[in-house]
Amino acid sequence: MNIGEVAERSGIPTKTIRYYEDIGFLHPKRNENGYRIFEDTELHKLTFIGRARSLGFNIEECRALLALYEDKDRGSADVKKIAQQHVQEIEDKIADLIAMRDTLTHLITACAGDHRPDCPILDNLSDGKGE
């Protein structure tokens, strides 16, 4: 398969595929004129990485998961540890988002939203006061 075909089949843009090759996720063969030739193994890796990225795993986590996937002597505990750490990161982000929402909701409630210039939202943004 050429890069266009593998991009279409994997759902990953060609630019991203080139990036994944640059960082060592893929090692496609090259034909005489230098064009990449992708085999089913590269397509499978791209699908794997694409799914991991869609679940929010970062590049290094994907690298670790891919290495574990390719290691037939791996322990599933290693995979589970990476997934558990990722879930904790997600939970931390959710907590941060909830705190942001609560702060903004409070500021919106405190803002009269009328023709006067005073605004607790802008006060809070400028100096942290106005809550």
Same structural domain for residues 80 and 70? no
CATH number at residue 9: 1.10.1660.10
pLDDT the model gives residue 91: 98
Task: Look at strands 29-30 and 36-37 and give their pairing.
Answer: antiparallel
Q: 57, 74, 91 — which closes off a domain? A: 74
Do residues 59 and 123 share a domain? no
Q: Are residues 58 and 84 in the same domain?
A: no
- For residue 29, give the DSSP letter: E
The number of residues in the chain equals: 131
Indicate the pTM of the whole model. Answer: 0.78
* CA atoms of 64 and 82, how far apart (whole Å): 8
**What is the structure's pLDDT at 127?**
84
The pLDDT value given to residue 131:
52
Low-confidence ranges of the chain (pLDDT < 50): 130
What value, to the nearest 5°, has the Cα angle with vertex 117 and ends 100 and 115?
105
Enclosing domain of residue 18 = 1-74
Return the pLDDT at 128.
61
Instruction: Looking at the structure, tell me whether residues 9 and 52 fall in a common domain.
Output: yes
Contact (Cβ atoms closer than 8 angstroms) between residue 106 and residue 123: no
Query: Number of structural domains, the chain?
Result: 2
